[in-house]
Amino acid sequence: MKNKKYIIAGAGLGGSLLGVLLAKKGFDVEIFESRPDMRRHDIAAGRSINLALSDRGIQALKKAGLSEAINKIMMPMAGRLIHSVDGQKQNQPYSGKKGRVINSISRGGLNSILMTEAEKYDNLEIHFESKIIDIDWDKKEFTYWSDDADSAKKEDFDIIFGADGAGSEIRTNYQRGGLRMFNYSQEFLEHGYKELEIPSNMDGSYKIETDVLHIWPRGQYMMIALPNKDGSFTCTLFMPYHGEQGFDNLKTKDQVSNFFNEKFPDAVPFMPTLLDDFFENPTAPLATVKCYPWVKGGDSALLGDAAHAVVPFYGQGMNASFEDVGVLDDLINQDPSLNWEEIFDKYQKLRKVNADAIAELAIDNYKEMRSHVADPTFQIKRHIEMALESRYSDFNSKYSLVTFEHEVPYSVAKSLGERQDEYLMKICKDVKDWTSLDLDDIYNDLIKLRK
Ligand SMILES: Cc1cc2nc3c(=O)[nH]c(=O)nc-3n(C[C@H](O)[C@H](O)[C@H](O)COP(=O)(O)OP(=O)(O)OC[C@H]3O[C@@H](n4cnc5c(N)ncnc54)[C@H](O)[C@@H]3O)c2cc1C
């Protein structure tokens, strides 16, 4: 069984990790990646764009033995630092339990580590600049464009994984008839995003606090900033495309300058390249992709963004992709006979409900990040959650369930977390001093919500 030919479309985050774990088991793996090798070419994905890596992703990376390598490129963030328009700052820890952090990590740095690890195996090869464009399921053959060839080439496969991201060609093939009764939806947010930068000081030191995720919440829109190892921060402005407070209204340098001076006055002095960044960097859309089934018998499976692209507001898209790979790895280990049809079916049933849950949580968290974090009732609720987490080892807020409790599936984290939120928001309404509330009573009420 092991000398089958395993093909992975995409050497991104999920595809590279899957490659490592399959190669480690002795499978023959070939990865086809449409882009050039980011370790040798200066391409967008290799730049210092960063992501928040948390527990679920870290657990899957541990399976590949990569903890030490990734530790070196991670920057811990223990909470949110909220920047008000008047320049005031407020620290909101992510958890009341000690040592809980999320980690800012360079996408290019992490992807490079994964690809380098994958290429250590003789039974794995990555073909760069090789874009998969078609699959013939009857012949078990796929077609790809390689930049070093004049025409498309064909190759056979036994099993093909679609780890080719939100615009997946493998998923498109399912949709074009490769898979009967295939359900698919793509829903764009009205909001897009643009990346900007806070560079380091001349001596390489940081201009603002490094151990937090900075947020400038402004109701309809927000800016965030995550630290990079080189002393800089990647800032992301999320806002509607249209309307009064939208990208449409930021067309000239004066408009952008006035807008930032008015809305983000404390950030502007740290953003010397703001106007160049704003007009050079693209405004990109954000969408949720859902589909089902994720697998075609025992021949093919989708994972990561190809199966479930989510908006980035819970910082879980990559983590969920890695979790997919971890679950697949467990299921393969549990089935020495390697019945792929059964493995894939179990995989999609386990994962779909959780992918749907994190998709919805991510949309809800956008509202929380851009406005609720500045709301007094929400802030009281966060104080109580922190106090409860610190006093009771078995209490976790919704954020903690999603972010720090990898043994709790996203779907369970969502349903329990929402019940807790509803109860807590109710008791926090009109409370001025959260210390006047009885924590033991609250805890006892919350326990009842677990059933
Ligand atoms: C602004 C923003 C911020 C985000 N922040 C976070 C965060 O903080 N934390 C988090 O967990 N997630 C975050 N995400 C989500 C995260 O980026 C994705 O969930 C993650 O990259 C998905 O990994 P993947 O391997 O499935 O897909 P990708 O990383 O997109 O990899 C797909 C790969 O397939 C290749 N490819 C595409 N088509 C083909 C083809 N036809 N043939 C061959 N190769 C192909 C691509 O070149 C790419 O290398 C963010 C996303 C955005 C947009």
199 plus 212 within the same structural domain: yes
- Domain total in the chain: 3
Closest CA to 213 of 93, 363, 376: 93
Among protein residues, the one whose CA lies closest to atom 26 of ligand 1: 304
| Structural domain contains residue 91 | no
> What is the Cα–Cα distance from 245 to 237, expressed in whole angstroms?
12
219 plus 271 within the same structural domain: yes
C-alpha distance from residue 397 to each of 58, 113, 414 (Å): 20, 33, 10
| Structural domain contains residue 93 | no
* Joined tokens for residue 101: 């952090």
* Joined tokens for residue 306: 């190809």
Q: Spell out where 54-111 has E strands.
A: 74-77, 79-83, 89-93, 102-106
196 plus 269 within the same structural domain: yes
| Structural domain contains residue 92 | no
pLDDT tens, residue by residue, 159-169: 999 999 999 99
Question: Residue 10: CB within 6 Å of ligand 1?
Answer: yes
Q: Which atom of ligand 1 is nearest to the CA of 32?
A: 43
Which structural domain range is residue 14 located in?
5-82+102-186+287-365
Q: Spell out where 246-394 has E strands.
A: 284-292, 295-296, 300-302
Closest CA to 3 of 142, 157, 126, 118: 157
Query: What is the C-alpha radius of gyration for the chain, rounded to an integer number of angstroms?
Result: 23
Residue 2 is predicted with a pLDDT of: 57
> What is the Cα–Cα distance from 435 to 451, expressed in whole angstroms?
27
Residue 43 is predicted with a pLDDT of: 61
171 plus 302 within the same structural domain: yes
CA 138 to ligand 1 center in whole angstroms: 29
**C-alpha of 1 from chain center:** 34
Do residues 445 and 420 make contact, with C-beta atoms less than 8 angstroms apart? no
Closest CA to 330 of 55, 15, 60: 60
pLDDT at 46 over 50: no
Residue 359, Cβ density class (10 Å: 0-12 exposed, 13-18 middle, ≥19 buried): buried
3-class DSSP state of 226: strand
pLDDT at 200 over 90: yes
338 plus 264 within the same structural domain: no
- Domain limit, last residue, from 319, 343, 365: 365
341 plus 217 within the same structural domain: no
pLDDT tens, residue by residue, 68-118: 999 999 999 999 999 999 999 999 999 999 999 999 999 999 999 999 999
223 plus 250 within the same structural domain: yes
pLDDT at 307 over 80: yes
Question: Residue 112: CB within 6 Å of ligand 1?
Answer: no
Residue range 227-246: average pLDDT? 96
Residue range 7-30: average pLDDT? 98
360 plus 425 within the same structural domain: no
Give the strands of the sheet with 130-136, arranged side by side. 130-136, 141-146, 153-156
- Domain limit, last residue, from 261, 285, 309: 285
Closest CA to 218 of 371, 91, 86: 371
CA 424 to ligand 1 center in whole angstroms: 35
150 plus 74 within the same structural domain: yes
277 plus 294 within the same structural domain: no
141 plus 223 within the same structural domain: no
Question: Residue 192: CB within 6 Å of ligand 1?
Answer: no
Q: Spell out where 79-182 has E strands.
A: 79-83, 89-93, 102-106, 124-127, 130-136, 141-146, 153-156, 159-162
Residue 317, Cβ density class (10 Å: 0-12 exposed, 13-18 middle, ≥19 buried): buried
CA 435 to ligand 1 center in whole angstroms: 43
Residue range 297-311: average pLDDT? 98
pLDDT at 120 over 90: yes
Residue 177 is predicted with a pLDDT of: 87
Q: What percent of the chain has pLDDT over 70?
A: 98
pLDDT tens, residue by residue, 166-180: 999 999 999 998 899
Question: Residue 142: CB within 6 Å of ligand 1?
Answer: no
Do residues 348 and 292 make contact, with C-beta atoms less than 8 angstroms apart? yes
Among protein residues, the one whose CA lies closest to atom 2 of ligand 1: 312
Question: Residue 11: CB within 6 Å of ligand 1?
Answer: yes
Closest CA to 359 of 404, 402, 421, 393: 402
More confident residue, 225 or 430: 225
| Structural domain contains residue 22 | yes
Q: What is the mean pLDDT of the chain?
A: 95
Do residues 175 and 135 make contact, with C-beta atoms less than 8 angstroms apart? no
Residue 150 is predicted with a pLDDT of: 82
pTM: 0.96
pLDDT at 308 over 50: yes
User: What CATH number should be reported for the domain holding residue 51?
Assistant: 3.50.50.60
Residue range 255-272: average pLDDT? 98
| Structural domain contains residue 370 | no
